[in-house]
Structure 1
């Protein structure tokens, strides 16, 4: 039984293993069956940390390089380039992905008690929007990374279709289910015909009526929160002393995980220091210089993500920026989050509608909308999707594990 299913997600990852006649999620970090998709290259102690341990090491102030959202660079020109680790060494982005996959595989093998050489890997409907060649390249890059760690036989399955398998195993009823898999990097939709009579079939191609997706999801909401609520305190969208809007590239880079490290180069720090005369409020310039000199860009991005999660949990939160400046705290509420992510919400809902249109099905014929993926915890987003299909029953799966569970079901059918 040397096989597994790997859900390599933008924000969180998981592995499913055989367990008798079924599958189970493997503990991949202590007792946790999900692992934040993060690697910290600790140059102080010359170690590599993963998941929650990676985030904790970064927060504790160790020198090194924190990598998150690695999946989002697949298919882009950046994927084959190298990134500095902070100690003079460098690593290719695709090798960072292989390093993370190797850790997942090692944890799975420790749980299984044997080597694993076969796997089903999940993939989004589109790694890259509106570019089939880049999308195909992204899958090849992911497959190459998986093969480099010893996986000899690899099959791919669309993540929303895997979630449909999980839905089907939970609710054995005939119908058309629209799977809404909204994670950290992509929002994927599949319209799937499900039912008890179909569950045992290995080939389900005819049951998948349409799938569609957009490269817009949780990290895009984080970025909007940072740009709208945090970075104005550092000069974003303010006017300079001559009445022009301040140059915005540094702010865009600070709000994009895989570009944050590019703002720390001596050249860019020097350029920013020379811009002090442009700031009407020089406190904003001081804060921005402090962020670059202390390498606090990832901390700002983390505060944005925490604010989004805080609002999702309770409707209002405070963004604590004390590490930048004593007493700097910002109130943030759901109305601000909804306004910040208005365009992202519109694009995600339109992608859901396009999926149903592509299937030639009327919205009223959709019997259920199955929500999975971490970002379906945003009530305003799931409500907007449910409102687009008012006659469908909203069903919520395990936000972080439904895809991995469904991939496991598929792996069992393929290999078991």
Structure 2
């Protein structure tokens, strides 16, 4: 914080983006803004890019954030682009990824990412404050997530970031941020829509000046959010062209092509890792035995030509366009594959309907744990990029009045609130 010794740092390490805030002890915090030709202000993309270079460690050079994107776009075929790696933090299935012959564990990705983030902070993070408050989801993403494993991996990821480390639920960080806007006691429901998870917290906010401004009443979450919505678009518009629900010959039988390849392809955290010798050999064998080999050939081409990022961008553009219009054009061209389709908002909402039901069930679970009816909620704060989706907004408008619902700081409110929590005399009260 300019001219003031920072006493606490709040870090929102997100599936899609990462945001950092510093607090100087007062009831305010300041977001770190990244500088440089590729910088995107206060938002640092949670991504890594690797390429072979003799002067790099073990012959591998790397970048993170928007600089990772720039390196990838400069030479996509000679690089490996990794994004959404937070989604494997709690996965016991994920042990390590092979990139240019070197093994990377989750914590290796995380430590490298944090080093690059500090490098691009223009000296603002050269000396870290003594207290670090890191956001974590209420429920981790993935199938059968192991929260103890995620904690172990986070500890290793942040082991160089100070001795006083606190983990706080991300929606509680957003609640602390929103509480700074309030001038009266309020019962607050926070809904945080991230890239990998959707989390809820019910918080009692006391009047300004109270010793403990916020009192958590209950939290809940579900491993469904923006990436899952992306996956629905990929599933309906892309995967049918790549062989999903196609058939292959196995001895004297005709069988459906295994779904595992398509699940990996539609998952941004795993797509880049499919470009390895073993997976490509399996796909080529499958292509030889496929009743229609052309779709599998298209999947191989997309993987070999590192088209994960352009595909991700095309999906994201479509999703954002559907937040403001009744229909959107999905357009993608790369790796010899061209896709052009018009998608209506009604179609998209039908694709994500089951996901929305599970999100609503998670909200209900938070209210039940807090022993509150919806009528007892004074304000609802929606944060995170997916909170802008009209179907998400409609979910809350069915339960609460438009006057009760507030938005703003969709990508920055959590980091802001985490830094404010760092000002507490005992932030361990918030830690989980």
User: Do they fold alike, i.e. is TM over 0.5?
Assistant: yes
Q: Is the 8 A contact 1:366 1:392 kept in 2?
A: no
The alpha-carbon deviation at position 358 of structure 1 amounts to 1.4
What SS does structure 1 have at the residue aligned with 2:330?
A: strand
CA distance in structure 1 between the aligned counterparts of 2:126 and 2:265, rounded to whole angstroms: 43
SS at match of 1:111: coil
- The aligned residue for residue 303 of structure 1 is 314
Q: How does 1:236-251 map to 2 (within 5 A)?
A: 236-238=244-246, 245-251=256-262
State yes or no: 1:94 paired with 2:94: no
The match for 1:55 among 66, 69, 77 is 69
Relative distance call for 1:174 and 1:301 in structure 2 (3 A) is: same
Q: Which residue of 1 aligns with 2:156?
A: 144
Instruction: Determine helix, strand or coil for the equivalent of 2:123.
Output: helix
Rounded to whole Å, the distance in 2 between the matches of 1:42 and 1:126 is 33
CA contact (8 A) 2:171 2:190 kept: yes
Structure 1, unaligned runs of 5 or more: none
Matches of 2:141 and 2:239, distance apart in 1: 28
Q: How many angstroms apart in 2 are the aligned matches of 1:201 and 1:285?
A: 62
Structure 2 CA distance for partners of 1:202 and 1:193, relative to 1, 3 Å: closer
Number of the residue aligned with 1:32: 41
Structure 1 residues 354 and 392: alpha-carbon distance in aligned structure 2, compared to 1, 3 A threshold? farther
Paired residues of 1:386 and 1:392 also in contact (CA < 8 A)? no
Q: Separation in 2 of the partners of 1:294 and 1:99? A: 25
Distance 1:415 1:67, change over 3 A: farther
Change (3 A) 1:351 1:157: same
Aligned length: 409
Q: CA RMSD in A?
A: 2.8
Provide the TM-score with structure 1 as the length reference: 0.88
Q: Distance in 1 between matches of 2:419 and 2:348?
A: 35
Find the residue that maps to 2:158 and give its secondary structure: helix
- Local SS of the residue matching 1:307: helix
TM-score (norm 2): 0.85
Say whether 1:223 aligns with 2:231. Answer: yes
User: What is the aligned partner in structure 2 of residue 4 from structure 1?
Assistant: 9
Corresponding residue to 2:350 among 328, 339, 356: 339
CA contact (8 A) 1:226 1:301 kept: no
Output the CA distance in 1 between the equivalents of 2:409 and 2:317: 20
1:171 aligns with 2:190: no
* Match of residue 23 from structure 2: 18
Uncovered stretches (5+) of structure 2, i.e. residues with no partner: 428-432
CA distances 1:314-336 after superposition (whole Å, capped 9, x unpaired): 34332323213365322223222
Query: Residues 178 and 369 of structure 1 are in contact (CA less than 8 Å); yes or no, is this contact kept in structure 2?
Result: yes
**Does the aligned pair in 1 maintain the 2:131–2:422 contact within 8 Å?**
no
Partner Cα distance (2:105, 2:366) in 1: 35
